[in-house]
A and B are shown apart, each in its own frame.
Chain A
Amino acid sequence: MKYQTQKLAYPYFIAAMGLFVAQVLGGAIAGTIYVFPNFLSEIMPFNIIRMIHTNALIVWLLMGFFGAAYYLIPEEAETEIYSPKLAWIQFWLFLFGAAAAVVGYLFGIHEGREFLEQPLWIKVAIVVVALMFLFNITMTLLKGKKTVVAIILTMGLWGLALFFLFAFYNPSNLALDKMYWWYVVHLWVEGVWELILASILAFMLIKMTGVDREVIEKWLYVIVGLALFSGLLGTGHHYYWIGTPGYWQWLGSIFSTLEVFPFLAMVIFSFYIVRKGNRNHPNKAAILWILGCTVLSFFGAGVWGFMHTLAPINYYTHGTQITASHGHLAFFGAYVMINLAIITYAMPHLRGQQPYNQTLNMWSFWIMCSGMCFMTFTLTAAGVLQTHLERVMGLDFMEVQEQIALFYWMRLGSGVVVILGVLLFVYATFSKGKEKQAS
């Protein structure tokens, strides 16, 4: 660690991991309700649990992104963070907002648009937090070196804040509401978040492989270009059945198919760079997370997304467990894993140790990934059956749910495996290192 203010990443990473644990526990409760429908039904109904599960995910990923930015911007810009104090205020305000939201949800205080359930004042607080952060990062960048990695990351973060503003627009016309809702949801996860993902990836590859920055930065432009060229009009795959014009079925099908390519490019890029790199970096676990991230995001976001993105297919699969399977592996592969990668990479530096507990960390990688993959497979099977029985045969929703109950058991089982992986990761990352660095 070359700059003192990189330490600012530490509290963000700790909070992220805390919320990560909360998120997967929430997921386990939701999964339990699927198989024991009476579980907690009076005190904490499914809708509240699900809100906590999804919101905790989003908040901890953002925590991780903020932490990643504080970690890598000083090193890229070759200067200290503009105002460490502001970063601390931002941290506590964000953590407080997140905690207040969750406690509020438990007492039934929430708004009602999916993923945007935060009460208005918390949404305002999120904007304030984002502005503090962007001001801090941008000022740092302005006084320092403006590398491509730093610029793309900062662009992604600005885009994130900008598109969040659509969360404040809630027209009474449901079709309009839905159309602009995707300006937040799609343009985040299939747009600007990919900039954040790719730039963090590029940063780690520069640091760990010793491959020439020029080569990596050129790749970075190509990847984020592919992401936005396909992803912007790819929004159309959400505009098939919500009251928007029919031409989106063409545009959405074509452009969202192309959304596979940035993810494919990231796989090729990361493997090519790691192979080309001759520096034998001691943090093997971080390399594993990097490569795993590109592979599983390619499958989760790319392949599983493509599976149901063509309009004639989506007509039948839309809003079934197919969507759930894709959602789980895409979020995990892309955004969970990039966060775990940067945390695995940065933690030894932040704590002033050699990479420690690498074996355990790598075990957590395999446990978490196999759990998530199995969960995806079970939900996919459930979704295929559901699509056929409900959408083709015309059976009643609840009748079909009983038919596919077995898959919900297997999903719960895989969820428990994921939780074990998560706990192991947290232990391996935060406990005192016993191991010496692996050679």
Chain B
Amino acid sequence: MSEGMTKTAARNIFFGGTIFFFVIFVVLTAQSHFYILEESTDVSTLTASVERGKRVWEENACINCHTLFGEGAYFAPELGKVWVKFGGADDPETGRETLKAWMNAMPTGIEGRRQMPQFNLTDQEHEDLAAFFEWISRVDTQNWPPKPAE
């Protein structure tokens, strides 16, 4: 396959090509960075509460059971649109209450059902987590998931 190529040529192609593709990649991610800020996410509503909600999400390692935008563990449901599922899009109060009631009912302890731990969130944390779910439900994900998880 590379019989006709000298080692020096192979080396030059490797280094040159790598630099070439790396530069393109960096430029495109920079462009995507601005696209995220300008187009696909609503930065103006990214409040301190949303930010704290993301911390709640992280501190409890939710990603190691659930997915967000399809990324994470596949043990428990996708939550990118959980806000919509819990009715928060129509009535934020319902969304918040449903989320809180759901989490407080865990673990169900029902034999043979996957168990979600009890995370003992404070009222403030419940509110922040809800704000986070609300904010991410509005991210433009190119129409993914195929159907809002029901």
Contact = CB atoms under 8 A, between A and B. Distances in A.
Interface in B31-76: 31-33, 35-37, 39-41, 43, 46, 50-51, 54, 57-65, 67-76
A436 B136 CA distance: 63
Contact of B64 (A47, A229, A394, A396): A47
A214 B1 contact: no
B145 A175 contact: no
A242 to B, nearest CB: 5
Interface residues of A, number: 70
Contacts of A114: 63-64, 71-73
24 contacts: A33-B114, A45-B116, A47-B60, A47-B75, A51-B64, A112-B60, A114-B64, A174-B68, A174-B136, A179-B36, A228-B14, A229-B18, A233-B24, A239-B32, A241-B69, A242-B69, A242-B71, A244-B32, A248-B32, A251-B28, A319-B78, A324-B74, A392-B146, A397-B78
A235 B17 contact: no
Interface string A218-243: 11011011001100110100111111
B28 A172 contact: no
Contact of A398 (B10, B17, B72, B114): B114
Given A38-B112, A175-B36, A392-B146, A50 B10 contact: no
B10 A222 contact: yes
Contacts of B2: 218-219, 222
B17 A229 contact: yes
Given A228-B17, A228-B21, A50 B73 contact: yes
Interface of B: 1-2, 5-7, 10-11, 13-14, 17-18, 21-22, 24-25, 28-29, 31-33, 35-37, 39-41, 43, 46, 50-51, 54, 57-65, 67-78, 107, 109, 111-117, 135-136, 139-142, 144-147, 149-150
A324 B18 CA distance: 29
B74 A321 contact: yes
B65 A320 contact: no
Interface of A: 33-34, 37-38, 41-42, 45-48, 50-51, 110-114, 117, 148, 172-179, 183, 214, 217-219, 221-222, 224-225, 228-229, 232-233, 235, 238-246, 248-249, 251, 265, 268, 315-316, 318-321, 323-324, 391-392, 394, 396-398, 401
Contact of A178 (B25, B71, B116, B140): B71
Given A33-B75, A222-B14, A235-B25, 16 more contacts: A47-B61, A47-B73, A148-B7, A174-B135, A175-B41, A177-B54, A179-B36, A218-B6, A221-B7, A222-B10, A224-B14, A225-B18, A229-B18, A243-B40, A244-B40, A248-B32
